[in-house]
Structure 1
Amino acid sequence: MLELRGTSCLEMNDFNEPRKRIMTSRSFGRPTSQIYDLQGAIRQHAQRGAEKLREQKSLARAVLVFLKTDRFRPDLPQYSPSLAVEMERPSQDTRDILYAAQEALRKIYRPKYGYKKAGVMLIGLTDENRQQLSLMDTPQTEEERQRSQKLMATMDALNEKMGKGTVRLGLPKKNAPWHLRCANRSPRYTTNWDELMKVYTDEGAARRDKTSTNLYNRQ
């Protein structure tokens, strides 16, 4: 009744409020049981999560990795593990996050299962300007922290200028099982030059048909 009278009963969400956790995951194009395929997927998710972490100027205390088999295939053995690995100190460095993610994957991986999905979640987020330093920190530790921030800032700047994924740690394997299947994808008219719609005038269409006919006759 209050809403019908113009009184809102739900608070508006603050879209600028930093997220409390960041998750990146995706289902695979086809199942896989190979550890190197899972490592490639986890590496991609961890790097994307680290980029999102830096975008909102946060640090993560731990990295959680999870795997899932195909739950729509009850005839196959099922296994859906997850494990969180705490980092030595809160970080937004892609290298630290990758190391923790790969360690978690190594501990939960079992070779006899066909995995259909994998993901990485960054948890224990805190503002980078409110980082609680350790009593064990040294001048060398602060120097390493500054060097890490400069390196990550350079990577993000290059990827923003040259395109996402231009600079990354490790090259993804071509035709890896975790790549999405895009056979039925609609043309990307607004984001890919090679897939722009082609428009012909009547004269241009006639010329094109004539060219195609000549090529066919030559064959």
Structure 2
Amino acid sequence: MYALVDCNNFFVSCERALDSSLENKAVVVLSNNDGCVVSRSKEAKDLGIPMAAPAFKYKELFKQHDVKSFSAKFELYNFKSQQVIKIASSYVLEFETYSIDELFLNLTGFKYVNIYDYCLEIRKRIKKEADIPVSIGIAPTKTLCKVANRIVKEFPEKFNEGVYILNTPEKIEKALKWLNIGDVWGIGRRLVVKMNDAGVYKAWDLLQKPEMWVRKIMGIHGMRMINELKGIRQLELDSPSPKKSIAVTRSFMQMLTKKDDVLERVETFGMYCSERLRKQNTCCKMITVFVHTNRFRKDLPEYRNAKTQILPNPTNSSIIIGRVVKDLFEAIFEEGFHYKKAGVIVNDFVPEDQRLINLFEEDTQNQHLPVMKAMDAMNKKYGKDKVRLGSMNGQNTWGRAQMSPEYEAFLKNNILPEANFRFH
């Protein structure tokens, strides 16, 4: 059996863990630049606020119903996520972190343990120690775990303990006859249209289709899904694959026109890329810088450009990457435009201890290494960006306006590990 541990309205739950007065109130969390709603409490959902709703369109509704809106606190969410993962994974030998708020647990071999009570204990401990409510769906396959978890969330009054187990053919059949085909894990919007045209509206309807039809519409992926829905395991737990690229990109809260302002942002992004490279003990051989204007502002001239450089020697030095980033930026920046977004991407990685050096190029990586290690150690001890390059102004790059003074103070003294997930 597998179990899926899924945090309920995760970002909102983190806000409530920080401020208990938000319990039972309508709360939304906004994305970068406070643009769109990325997490909603049940109370906010009941008001008709959809996911990804542009915040400016719902200002009056927020005001009318006293909806509490918050800028995303990425550092806090990362910390809470790691707490939940650490607690839940301590109960099993094998697990898979699926996303920032979900992880699968492998309960295979727990023959002499009451799995329901075991997962109930996990849930209670997570709530007690991390103050995050979770739902746990238990089933023979990962796809059915998703179904079980959805049932818990859809019927909280019936499954108030937050745990549900799909462990009999009767339960599985009943669940699949209830579940809309569009809510099956792996079914996208385009596929839903094809399914509906063929009379498939519920997950159970898909199981009644001939194998040839499923193969024609969905290929081998469809047959795996069918078996998973039948309770025949097809998907094993995956270990996280190493990153093939690192990107730091941001949309600016306000459009920037001054060259120095955009350059400072881009050089900061380069600094963050180099920090992440050192964290995973790799060096990059390729750097890309891009900038572009706001494509939604049709009243302003549009411009976008990017430039890539292949390095003679792999590096993770903030100094070297900063110089390259500046040169690439100088090559693509054009005066007279209102810039909305920029970013730095590094890829083509090699392990730090397996660098192949070009004999005809000067290698300064080893000269910078002691400085970089000292800088990383200081930032780890005293907080992010306490020691930085002179070109960085120390401002946060996320564009978050609705932050409390208390949280800003927390950020200045933040020594949490770097987030392991993308938030944008």
TM-score band (shorter)?
Answer: 0.7 to 0.9
Q: Which residue of 2 aligns with 1:147?
A: 367
Superposition RMSD in Å: 2.8
Structure 2 CA distance for partners of 1:5 and 1:124, relative to 1, 3 Å? same
SS for the counterpart of 2:370 is helix
SS for the counterpart of 1:164 is coil
Counterpart pick for 2:258 among 21, 34, 37: 34
Q: Which residue of 2 aligns with 1:103?
A: 327
Question: Would you say the 8 A contact 1:22–1:121 is kept in 2?
Answer: yes
TM-score (norm 1): 0.75
Structure 2 CA distance for partners of 1:112 and 1:9, relative to 1, 3 Å? farther
State the AA in 1 paired with 2:334. R
Give how far 1:189 is off: 6.0
Counterpart pick for 2:280 among 48, 56, 62: 56
Percent of pairs with identical residues: 28
Does 2:201 align with 1:2?
no
Q: Which residue of 2 aligns with 1:117?
A: 341
SS for the counterpart of 2:304 is coil
State the AA in 1 paired with 2:333. Y
Does 2:380 align with 1:165?
no
SS for the counterpart of 1:152 is helix
Bigger relative contact order, structure 1 or 2 (CA pairs below 8 A, ≥6 apart): 1
Q: Could you list the runs of 5+ residues in structure 2 that have no partner in the other structure?
A: 1-225, 413-424
Give how far 1:14 is off: 2.7
SS for the counterpart of 2:323 is helix
Distance 1:92 1:134 in 2: 16
Q: How far does the alpha carbon of each residue in 1:70-115 deviate from its partner, in whole angstroms, 9 at most, with x for none? A: 1111121111111112223110000110111011100000001100
Distance 2:239 2:282 in 1: 17
Structure 2 CA distance for partners of 1:190 and 1:106, relative to 1, 3 Å? closer
Distance 2:411 2:282 in 1: 35
TM-score (norm 2): 0.40
Distance 2:406 2:376 in 1: 25
Distance 2:381 2:328 in 1: 32
Q: Which residue of 2 aligns with 1:87?
A: 311
Question: Would you say the 8 A contact 1:63–1:122 is kept in 2?
Answer: yes
Structure 2 CA distance for partners of 1:190 and 1:120, relative to 1, 3 Å? closer
SS for the counterpart of 1:90 is strand
